[in-house]
Homo-oligomer: A and B are copies of this chain.
Amino acid sequence: MQRHERLIRLTRRLVERPMAPIGISALAEAWGVAKSTLSEDVQLVREVLAEDGAGRVETLVGAQGGVRFVPQVARDRAEAFLWDVARRLASPDRVIAGEFLYASDVLGDPDVIDTAGAMVASRFAHAGVEVVVTVETKGIPLAASAARYLHAPLAIVRREQRVTEGASLTTHYVSGSAKRIQTMSLSTRLVPRGARALIVDDFMRAGATARAVAELIGEFGGEVCGTAVFMATSQPAQKMVADYVALLEVGPVRESGFEVRPNLGALERRVTHVD
């Protein structure tokens, strides 16, 4: 196999399944090349992807000698993306019933889902995420995208108990905005005991939902290693969760006009490393 072909195959495998380990020794054997030759190929791919800000090819420590592709969204692309989404959202014809912001079309746009998911994954790539947890319904595509980029399973919290979910843990909480009692329910088979969970949702106002999900994860003996939302309202400034990342911040929604601001701080990688 020529170098050209190996580079194409390597790039395809890395990009196609972010965070999934690729065994270099096994691949060298399968392709009939020396491990050192394949390592040179990996280095070439690594340099080009790094130069493009497309992601990092990380070497895994251990006997197997593997690599994985850690997603990344280059800062200039992330900024341009968030400004673009902010402009799309900050439109008076999106105001519903006086105070709600219509965003379902944006949250269903394949490029938005993909880039936003990559941004969330990039931020939490080294947080040791073992499961991505979301609440039905609108946040599911974003959460699924983040889960794909993190190569982690997705667990969906339901608003009602469903027979098809089997044994479930159910909790009740008071929503921050409507002051209504809400129910949420998570199948006991979806979150392994002690798992590190990343909470992903489309929207955060007071943070009551995220907090209830965190408590639910706690009931499973799990640990919340992060909370990421597509957009959070600027008010109330004090949320019910201590620590969260929002890609966009939305000011009070009024028909006379309102602000949607990219949260460029959301792009900064956390320094928490867990192995």
Contact = CB atoms under 8 A, between A and B. Distances in A.
Contacts of A165: 102, 104
Contact of A8 (B44, B100, B103, B153): B44
A175 B93 CA distance: 36
Contact of A140 (B8, B20, B144): B144
Contacts of A137: 136-137, 140, 156, 158
Contacts of A17: 111, 114
Contacts of A236: none
Give the 8 A-B residue pairs with the shortest CB-CB distance, closest first. A11-B11, A108-B154, A141-B144, A8-B48, A140-B140, A136-B137, A102-B166, A96-B166
Given A137-B137, A148-B114, A109 B7 contact: no
Interface in A93-144: 96-97, 100-105, 108-111, 113-114, 136-138, 140-141, 144
Nearest to A152: B110
A80 B111 CA distance: 30
Contacts of A11: 7-8, 11-12, 15
A49 B9 CA distance: 8
Contacts of A48: 4-5, 8-9, 12
A103 B145 CA distance: 20
A189 interface: yes
A15 B49 CA distance: 13
A153 B9 CA distance: 29
